[in-house]
Every structure is written in C-alpha cells, then in structure tokens.
Structure 1
Amino acid sequence: MGFEVEAGRCSEPGPRKRHEEGRRNEDFAAVVQPTHQDEARGWVAAVADGVSEGGGGAVAAQTAVRSVTGDYHATPPTWDTTVALDRLIGAHNAWLADHNRRRGEGTAMCTLTVLVLQGQSYTVAHVGDTRAWLVRGAECLQLTQDHTLDHPDLRSGLTRALGLDDAVRIDYLQGELHTGDTFVLTSDGVHRTLNRRRLAELASQGTAQEASEALVREAVASGSRDDATAVVLRVHGLAPARLEDVLMRGRQLPVPVRLRIGAALDGYVVTAVVADNGVHRLYQAREAATEQLVALKTLHPARAHDPEERAMLAHEAWLGCRLGEHDAGGFVRVREVASPSAFYTVFDWHGGHTLEQMLGAGRSFRIEEVIAGALAVVRALGRLHRLGVVHRDIKPANLHLGDDGQWRVLDLGAAVSGREPHVQRQLHAGTPSYMNPEQWLGGPGGDDGADVPADAGSDLYALGVTLYRWLSGRLPYGEVEPYQLGAFRRDPRPPSRLRPDVPIWLDHVVLKAVARDRAQRFETAEEFALALERGASRPLPAPSATPLVARDPAALWKISLAISLLFNMLLVVWLLFLPR
C-alpha cells in the first residue's frame, strides 16, 4: 500500500459573528494533497486564528495559510522540511510586520500551526495558541505548546504571533508516522471547549470530514464563544521510507548495547555474533514471528555518539530499501522494522561464503562458473548505476555466493548516491589494490596530483581486478599501496599465461576491464555484460600495449638523461684517452 491519507476540515464563526452582518470568521484552514510530481514533499495542512484588532485578523489568517500551503510544494526538493517551513513562515511574518507598520491603525496578526505528512514521518511548525494533536490508539498527545501569558486572567494574551515582530520564533516537532495515526489541528474555539478525551473520541468517529464537522459542531453546542475550526487527517498507508526518515530515526534512537546469544530485540532473538570490527557489529538473529533468520547490523557502542557514523549507517539502510523497491536481485534485501526501539538495520540472512573466503580456502572455479558469477555481479552493478549509486568497494570480500546459488553484492556502507553524508562523500573509500589508477594518479594525463573521485567506471575496474584474481589467483598490478605509482608502470600479464585453460577471448575482456588507460576500459556495466555474454562468438580485439609514456610520463626525461650521460662519458673518454 502506498501513502494514503484521508483529510477533512470544518470552520464555523463564533456565536456573535453568526448574527452580525459583516463579521468575518477569523479562523482559516486548508489541506493540500500533493500532485504526482510533488509526491515526495507530502501532504501539508494548516490552521490559523486571526487576532481581532481592526479587522485585520481574518486577512492575516487567510494569507498565512494560503502562503504556506500554496508555496510549500514549490520549495526546492533539496531543502529539509523544517527549512522550507521556516523560510515560508518567516517571509510571511516579515510581510505582515511591515504591513502593520505601514497601516498605522489596527493590526493584522494570527497564530499558525502547520502539519506536514511526508514519507514515514511528520513535521509540525507552530506559533501561537492553535494546536496540533496526535491520536494514536488510546492515546491523545498534544504536540504543541500554547504561546500565551502564564496567568489565569491573561490566557488570551499571546507571547508569539505572526505579524507581532519583525522576526518570529517557530517551534518544530518531528516524529515517526504509524499506520492508523489521526492528526487533529484545532483553533482555540475548539480545544478550549472540548477536553482531550472528548476530542479524541470525536476525531476517531466516521470519516475524516465527518470527524472535523463533529468537533466543530460539539464545540459550538458546548458554548464556544470564539470561531471554531478543526482539521482531521488520518493515515491509512505509509510511503516507502525516505532518507530523511531513516536519518531522523538514527538521530533519535539509542544504539543497542552488546547483544549476547539469546538476547531479544524487537521480536528478534540473537543466535550468533558474526562480526565486530570496532565500528559495526553484525549479528545473526531469528525473527520470533516467522522463525526466519536475519542479520542485524548495529553501531559499536564506542561509535554510538558519532553523528557521522549514524548518518552513514542510516544511508546504507536507506539504499538497501531503495534497491528493494526496484529489484533487490543481486543484493541483500533490507527489512523495514515497524516500531524499532533502537537504531539498527535488518537484512535477509543468506547462508554461504564470500568469494574471498572461497579463494582463501583454495577453492578452484571452472571457467564457466567464473563467467556466470561475473555476469551476475555486473548485472547487479548495472542496476545500482542506473539508480545513480556507486558502490566504491567491489572486491572478493564483498561478493557472496549464497546456499541458493545466487551471487550478491554486499556492503553498501561506502556507497555514494548523491544524498550521502558529506563526510562519506569526502572519504577516500575502497581497497587500494582494487581502485582504478586515476583515483591515485589524477586525471587522464596521470601524476597531476588531482585525485579523481570514484564513479561507475571505478566499480567496473574493481570488478575487472576481482575477475583477474578469480581466474588467476593473482592481482593484475600486484598489491598496491596508497598513492603507489610504480605498480601501474607495466601492463598486466594475460590470465591465460597464469592459467592455460582461460580462453583468449576472456583474456581480452579481463585486460580491457583493468586497462591502465580509462579510455580503453568498459564504459558501462551493460557493455561489460555484453562482452561476457558474447564470448567467443564475437570476441573483443586484443588490447594494445600501453605506450611507455602513458605508463611512465617521466620516461622521456629518463631516456634523455641516460643519453646525455652516455654522450658526456664518451666525450670524457675521447678527451682523456684517445689521441688527437
């Protein structure tokens, strides 16, 4: 089920205004459902209560609500929800304050409460004494605090309102959405008359529109002397988790303590401790409801208060969920936890071994097994690249052959998507021996000192190095240390020289994938896959040897120096020993 919200709103003027001609309802409310293009920005609802002074309250309330709800979906998608609301509300407050200074007599002020339902979270922005409520199960939570004078006789005196000052301080609250949540926005004409219990009862009855009408109708019948307005929104289905939802969860939830075998966490029972590298902990667990095995990944308690590590783990979880929305084939699926009590990620569990483990144990693969495995991995990388994601750490340790016979790419912790944390983007991630030379040596000219960031081609090069080792047991350029230049000053030997049963066409594919010059390599995963599929039927041409100047830009200088030294030595011999 996708994001499904039901909305209703109702507003009635106070008793005196209903009988006096020309008296306007100074409350105003609106709900805006996103179009398909704006779906990622979510639903926005607002209620405002004008401050009656010179008749400007109604204008202030209407313009405030229309400004926020009308312009919210036009804000840049890169803005956080709180940033977008802050800019919109702040701009309108400045306009109202300036309007009041110019007007001279009377003022246009209002209170305002805005609710945004987006992805799997909600955001409330609030100024004044309108209120936002959350009805969840048997609970009715007041999400806002009134900005009024703390005195029984001055409760209607506002300490904050739009138009009161040039700058306005806005309260924000964010939380997780649950299916079945009901949100209610009310003006003081409703919540000063109805108590919390009655408000929750009425908000839960009938449709959302019927509930909003019932709230206003009962408030008026109970003697409300002010305008009465209610907005009701019910959440029937959640959208897939957004990165912002996962980041918020990562900031708010605690990191689990060290889990021992038999420990329970949100319906998962730990069955084994798989890994602990000082940054992350990986557990095998069994889901109590289904008896299925899963993997739990958490931060090490030593990194629990590191916001960057939290953001990186949240980004990895979001990427896993995003891959599952399209086609999780070739990757490990991430499971969403409905109401987690701690910050962790749940993966499907697959028995089996990584390629690193199998090569380390001395397992040999037939040529057809290697080709089938490489095809599965390169197709998975193609899916990843089409989503704009670069893995950045392809190597045998991150390729897993499951007991079901499927190859999967592991560990998206270093991946970049364009929305990763800044520190992750700056991280020189990867394993040196599997990183393309230009990441160390700079651009096409080489040795220019400007490192080139990893891209889709970097993943294909790393897969080429992996394939070379898969076939021959060796690395094409040997073990490479960070910023080592000499390793790339020779062309790698064809794998068939190290393993005679490797066909010549596969030699050409592998050597093209690990070529020193990036212009000679595969440009896309689809091109790489096509070369493996065609095999001997349409073999690639033999790669040409890399020119000495390309492999070692200083070679000409070295040759010139050697010739110069030789000439000078001959000249010295001629001058000293040969007759004149």
Structure 2
Amino acid sequence: MPDFDSADDNATASTLISVDAGCASIAGRKPVNEDAVQVSIPEAEYALTTKGVCLIIADGVSSAEAGQEASQYSVRTFVEEYYRTPDTWSVKHAGQKTLSSINLNLFKKSHAFTHQEKGFLCTFSGLVIKSRTLHFFHAGDSRVYRFRQGELAQLSRDHTVNIGAGKSILSRAVGMDNDLRVDYGKAPIEEGDILLLTTDGIHDFLTSDELVGVLASDENAQSLCDTLVARAKAANSDDNISCAIAIVQHLPHESRDDFNTKLTRLPFPPHLEPGMKLDGYRVEQELFASSRSQVYLVTDLDTDQQLVMKTPSMNYVDDIHYIDRFIQEEWIGKRIDSEHVVKIIQQNRPRSCLYYLMEYVPGVSLERWMKNNPLPAPKLAIGLVKQIASALQAFHGMDTIHQDLKPANILVDDSMHIKVIDFGSVFVAGIAEVFIPIEHIGALGTATYSDPYYLQGKNTGIQGDIYALATITYELFTGGLPYGEKIQDCVNSRDFDKLRYHNANRHNPIIPLWFDRALEKGVTLDETYRYRSLQDFLQDITHPNPGFLQDDPQVDNSRSYFFWQIMSAFWVLMLVLVVFLFSNSG
C-alpha cells in the first residue's frame, strides 16, 4: 500500500529559534493606561518554525477618546490572527493582511461614533522573529530598535508632522483611514541581538545613551523591561510607559532547502484511496469529489481522531490564483469561531502536500435532509433557520461574507444541529483584493441561492447572505424556490427583471400572510427594500410584523375584487330565487 508519510518529523532544539522575552507597561502619571503590549512565543514547534515569535506594542491616541480600546484590540487581534494565517504565506503578506483587517474594523468603529467624536486610533509596532530574520510592521510614533554589540539602531521611523512651537502630531495611525499605509521592513539577526519596542513614554524621556546603558547590562529580558520603565518614570515621563524586549539566544541553522520555500511550493497530493497514509493521516474513504477539490475522511494515527481532509484538484496544478484561494480557505475558517461553523484543525506537523483539515461532522447535507423531510414542522424549520443565522452572524462579526450559502453547504446531524461549511467563496472586507484576485467565469456562488446582484458582479455584503438565508427558509417551508427554477437560467439584469415572486402560500396554504411577506422582503430583487440585518429578518419570521398585515394593492385588491365578484353573483342568484318564488306563489 502506498505511504506518503513525511520523513522530516524529528525537529530538535538545534533547528528551533530560542529567545528570552519580556514586557512591561504602566499608566505612569496618567489616570488610564492606553498602551498595550504583548509577547507571544508558541509552545508548538511547528508554529514556532512556521510563524516565529511575536512582540507587539501599541499606544492609544488619547485625543481620540477610544485609544485604550483601539490599542488593546490591535495587539490582541494581531497575535490571534497572525498565527491563524496560512503557513504558506510570507510574514510580510500575513502581517499586512492581518493589519488591514484590524485597521478597517477600527475605522468603522470610529465612524459609528462620528457624532460623539469618539475615535478608535492607536500607533502600532509589531516584530516577528522567524528563522534568522526579523520582520517589523509599523505605523505611528512607537519605535522598533535593534541593539547589537553596543550599537543601538532605530529600525522604524516616526510618522509625525511638526506643527511648530516644538509640537508635532501623528500623520499615520491604525484606524485613521480605511486604507492603512504600514511600514514593513526586515533584517538579518544574530545570536545575542536585543530587540526593543517602546512607546513615546520611554524614548521621549530617555536618551539613546541611556537606553544603551540599560541594554548593555547583563540582565534577563524582563529585568531590562522593568528597569527601562523605572528609569523613564524617574525621568519625569508624563505619558504611559511601555516596552517589550527579546534577547536572541539561539537561531536555527540555515538550510539549502529552506522550510518556508518548501511550504510555498507544496505539491498537490495524488488522488487518495482508502488505506493510503499522508503525513500521519490514514485515508478511510472519499466523501466528496468535484472538478475543483476532493474531500476525504481520515484518521490521525497519533490520536485516532477522525478528521476531514480537503485536497486541491489536479486540474488546477498550474493555476496560481486557484492555489492562493485554496490556501486562504484554511485561514478564513480559522478566523470564524462558532458552534454552527465547521472548525479548521490547527496543523502541528509539517505538510508534505497541499491540503487542510477540518473537524468531522457526521450527518447529511441540508439539501438531502429536505428531500427526506419535506415540509417539516414549523418549529423545527425555524430552529434550523436560527442556527444558520447564528453561523452567518459569526462570519459577519469578522467582516466576512460567506457568499455561497446553500443547503449543500450546510450539514445536519442526528440531533438537528447544523454546521455551515465551505469557505471557497468567502469575501473578507478590507482585503478583498486577496479573495477575488482574478476575473471569474461566472460567479463563485450558486445561482439558485446567491444574490442576483452578486451574480452580476456586485457585492451587496450582508444583504447577499440574508438573500440566501431567506431563500433557504422559503424552501424549508414550501419545498420550492421563491422565483421558481427559471432563476438558474438568468445571466443578466434583463433576465432577472422578468422574474416574479411566487407567494409561499401557493405551495403551503398554512403559511400566514405576514410570514410570506417577510420571505418576500428577504429575497426581493431590489436591494433597497431588502433586510439590512439578520436580526430584523429573524424578528419578522418569528413575530408578525403589523406592517405586513395591511392591504397590499398588488395582492389583496385582486383578491378583494374576486371576493366582491362572488358576493355579487350570490346576491343576483338570491334575487332570481326570490323572484321565482314570488311568481310561483302568485
């Protein structure tokens, strides 16, 4: 039986980076500490090798009134999101895309408080130590230094503008604009190097010579941080005082077959058969196969845990855009945390081929479930809809749109618990150029459930996912589609203009008018009238909206006209009957 196990699984301390790191932060003379600082050294060897060590520092802009929230969010989120990025991404690519997402989120928060003059702004300096190289990302006036053999070098530059009278203002900060211009740099490092991050509460009050005097002492990283903070406080620093330090103790040996190069050139795995082994996973069966990918049920031979492995199709082995999108699916999945979204499994072993792992969810697709359970009880159907909406809220909370929500991408287990799967069409706000990198023939979504605007090249954001959810809700309650099967043949706006909504109670007469009108609003082809939030849609399908109980001239008038026709005919018949009886009695 073929075995594709990787032989390179004997990582030793000599191949790993080792640093002594520490950090310190105090409010100083200020009542609130708006600085944030964090050091992250992965325990797992694989993460330490593929991602490295992170040191992050941020200084909230006090005049923005939400500087503390901004700095804490930026530091915490960068560390979380950076380690979730694909192993195949370079440090530069991963850091810049992570920061772009953070920046957009803060910018949107600032605009949500426009009338209250509450802005979410902070400086940011991040350092990643990977292999034998340091990488830094910088915006604002916090600083990045390297201390080597008695020489202190400032690697970052201050983003400030002198406005006279000895005063300056920030010209760049995270959250200041919807498009963040971040400085990126990298430099080789040596064993014994000391890397230092500071906010202006330190470097505005301690000279370079004073910094050198502290760093040259034979102390560990945490002691150096504590000493710098104490010295700045003694120097009458009137700002928050923060720093982070990493002392490089050991660096991995350089290799002619660099690990990062191997990652970015992973081959496609061959078609896998039951019994084959790949990187410590045994293939049990093929669950799904298409022209674009294959999905297998596998067993982790170390833990005996069953997982799902997704592999790229050999049809796209030379398509770099397809490869990029496949790699990003894993990252997108790692960012979404919900009990109703399938979880991506963190890799702890080197990969010899391109694939990623997901949790195994026993069950069937909602598509098959609906065929086996036509017109389920309303309470059961609403319960499924609420779970799907919860999954979408997890996506939207990360500024992410699923864009291909359909019954085939939703799993239902025996307990009626659902999981949304498939991240192949996802759109992430702020970094859209990554996720739609090429012109696609047709759209990524599925015509039956995808927003017609999206299928015509326009992204309607959350409204597109609401359209898909409303369509699925319609199908659960009726067994049909809101515009019938013809929607699958539509290719342009003229085709969509010919479509007419099919009232849900034509398929299922027990559906009340208010529920049908909520569905119609959810799938309307005019986005200006469509729901703008999932909460509003859920409210209207679970509680009668009084506005939907009023007469609709386009619907109810025709029914009223029909009613009066019947009544008129009835009275004519009664009149004829009376005349007949009267004439007979005479």
Distance across 1 between alignment mates of 2:380 and 2:262: 42
1:112-148 deviation digits (Å, cap 9, x = unpaired): xxxxxxxxxxxx523xxxx535xxxxxxxxxxxxxxx
Cα separation, partners in 2 of 1:70 and 1:486, compared to 1, 3 Å: closer
Name 2:230's counterpart in structure 1.
none
- The answer to whether structure 1 residue 456 and structure 2 residue 471 are counterparts is no
Cα separation, partners in 2 of 1:314 and 1:541, compared to 1, 3 Å: farther
Name 2:264's counterpart in structure 1.
251
1:248-275 deviation digits (Å, cap 9, x = unpaired): 9962433333222122233322111112
> Does the 8 A contact of 1:457 with 1:524 survive in 2?
yes
| Structure 1 residues 284-323: aligned runs within 5 Å | 284-323=297-336
Distance across 1 between alignment mates of 2:270 and 2:551: 54
- The answer to whether structure 1 residue 335 and structure 2 residue 335 are counterparts is no
2:479 counterpart letter in structure 1: G
SS at match of 1:309: helix
Name 1:523's counterpart in structure 2.
532
Cα separation, partners in 2 of 1:387 and 1:430, compared to 1, 3 Å: same
1:279 counterpart letter in structure 2: R
| Structure 1 residues 384-395: aligned runs within 5 Å | 384-395=395-406
> Does the 8 A contact of 1:209 with 1:232 survive in 2?
no
1:146-194 deviation digits (Å, cap 9, x = unpaired): xxxxxxxxxxxxxxxxxxxxxxxxxxxxxxxxxxxxxx5499xxxxxxx
> Does the 8 A contact of 2:294 with 2:311 survive in 1?
yes
TM-superposed CA distance for 1:524, in Å, is 0.6
> Does the 8 A contact of 2:400 with 2:428 survive in 1?
yes
Name 1:34's counterpart in structure 2.
57
Distance across 2 between alignment mates of 1:208 and 1:478: 67
> Does the 8 A contact of 1:478 with 1:487 survive in 2?
no
Distance across 1 between alignment mates of 2:550 and 2:455: 27
Distance across 2 between alignment mates of 1:440 and 1:497: 27
Distance across 2 between alignment mates of 1:289 and 1:392: 36
Name 1:218's counterpart in structure 2.
none
Q: What is the RMSD computed on CA atoms of the aligned residues? A: 4.1
Distance across 1 between alignment mates of 2:345 and 2:357: 5
Distance across 2 between alignment mates of 1:381 and 1:248: 36
Distance across 1 between alignment mates of 2:273 and 2:219: 48
Cα separation, partners in 2 of 1:533 and 1:249, compared to 1, 3 Å: farther
Question: How many residues get paired?
Answer: 360
Distance across 2 between alignment mates of 1:208 and 1:367: 62
Distance across 2 between alignment mates of 1:498 and 1:306: 45
- The answer to whether structure 1 residue 373 and structure 2 residue 384 are counterparts is yes
1:308-331 deviation digits (Å, cap 9, x = unpaired): 12221222211211112xxx2221
Distance across 2 between alignment mates of 1:292 and 1:264: 14
- The answer to whether structure 1 residue 474 and structure 2 residue 536 are counterparts is no
TM-superposed CA distance for 1:460, in Å, is 0.7
Name 1:84's counterpart in structure 2.
184
Name 1:433's counterpart in structure 2.
448
Question: With structure 2 as the length reference, what TM-score do the two structures score?
Answer: 0.53
- The answer to whether structure 1 residue 132 and structure 2 residue 190 are counterparts is yes
> Does the 8 A contact of 1:392 with 1:415 survive in 2?
yes
Name 1:399's counterpart in structure 2.
410
SS at match of 2:269: coil
TM-superposed CA distance for 1:363, in Å, is 4.1
TM-superposed CA distance for 1:415, in Å, is 0.6
Distance across 2 between alignment mates of 1:440 and 1:33: 41
1:197-224 deviation digits (Å, cap 9, x = unpaired): xxxxxxxx9956899xxxxxxxxxxxxx
Name 1:483's counterpart in structure 2.
491
Which has more radius of gyration? Answer: 1
Name 1:465's counterpart in structure 2.
471
Q: What stretches of structure 1 of length at least 5 have no aligned partner?
A: 10-30, 51-57, 86-123, 134-183, 188-204, 212-229, 236-246, 442-450, 548-580
Name 2:273's counterpart in structure 1.
260
TM-superposed CA distance for 1:454, in Å, is 3.6
TM-superposed CA distance for 1:359, in Å, is 3.2
TM-superposed CA distance for 1:303, in Å, is 2.3
Distance across 2 between alignment mates of 1:532 and 1:495: 13
> Does the 8 A contact of 2:312 with 2:355 survive in 1?
yes
> Does the 8 A contact of 1:468 with 1:475 survive in 2?
yes
TM-superposed CA distance for 1:489, in Å, is 2.9
> Does the 8 A contact of 2:369 with 2:412 survive in 1?
no
2:517 counterpart letter in structure 1: H
Distance across 1 between alignment mates of 2:19 and 2:307: 32
Match 1:383 to one of 378, 381, 394: 394
Query: Which segment drifts farther, 277-286 or 297-306?
Result: 297-306
Name 1:100's counterpart in structure 2.
none
Distance across 2 between alignment mates of 1:438 and 1:282: 30
Cα separation, partners in 2 of 1:261 and 1:206, compared to 1, 3 Å: farther
TM-superposed CA distance for 1:537, in Å, is 8.1
Distance across 2 between alignment mates of 1:543 and 1:320: 45
TM-superposed CA distance for 1:435, in Å, is 3.0
1:537-560 deviation digits (Å, cap 9, x = unpaired): 86744684779xxxxxxxxxxxxx
Match 1:506 to one of 486, 492, 515: 515
Distance across 2 between alignment mates of 1:231 and 1:373: 50
> Does the 8 A contact of 1:531 with 1:540 survive in 2?
no
By relative contact order (CA 8 Å, sep 6+), the higher-ranking structure is 2
SS at match of 1:501: coil
Match 1:66 to one of 144, 154, 173: 154
Distance across 2 between alignment mates of 1:350 and 1:543: 46
Query: Which segment drifts farther, 521-530 or 538-547?
Result: 538-547
> Does the 8 A contact of 1:281 with 1:299 survive in 2?
yes
Distance across 2 between alignment mates of 1:375 and 1:275: 27
Distance across 1 between alignment mates of 2:428 and 2:305: 31
| Structure 1 residues 164-243: aligned runs within 5 Å | 184-185=192-193, 232-233=247-248
Cα separation, partners in 2 of 1:505 and 1:283, compared to 1, 3 Å: same
Distance across 2 between alignment mates of 1:413 and 1:80: 28
Cα separation, partners in 2 of 1:540 and 1:317, compared to 1, 3 Å: farther
Distance across 2 between alignment mates of 1:273 and 1:543: 54
SS at match of 2:349: coil
Name 1:142's counterpart in structure 2.
none
Question: With structure 1 as the length reference, what TM-score do the two structures score?
Answer: 0.54
TM-superposed CA distance for 1:42, in Å, is 3.1
Distance across 2 between alignment mates of 1:234 and 1:533: 61
> Does the 8 A contact of 2:297 with 2:306 survive in 1?
yes
Distance across 2 between alignment mates of 1:357 and 1:283: 19
Distance across 2 between alignment mates of 1:474 and 1:248: 51
Distance across 1 between alignment mates of 2:384 and 2:507: 20
> Does the 8 A contact of 1:352 with 1:400 survive in 2?
yes
Cα separation, partners in 2 of 1:406 and 1:233, compared to 1, 3 Å: farther
SS at match of 1:346: strand
Name 2:357's counterpart in structure 1.
346
2:463 counterpart letter in structure 1: G
1:93-121 deviation digits (Å, cap 9, x = unpaired): xxxxxxxxxxxxxxxxxxxxxxxxxxxxx
> Does the 8 A contact of 1:379 with 1:526 survive in 2?
no
1:467 counterpart letter in structure 2: T
1:394 counterpart letter in structure 2: L
Distance across 1 between alignment mates of 2:262 and 2:159: 28
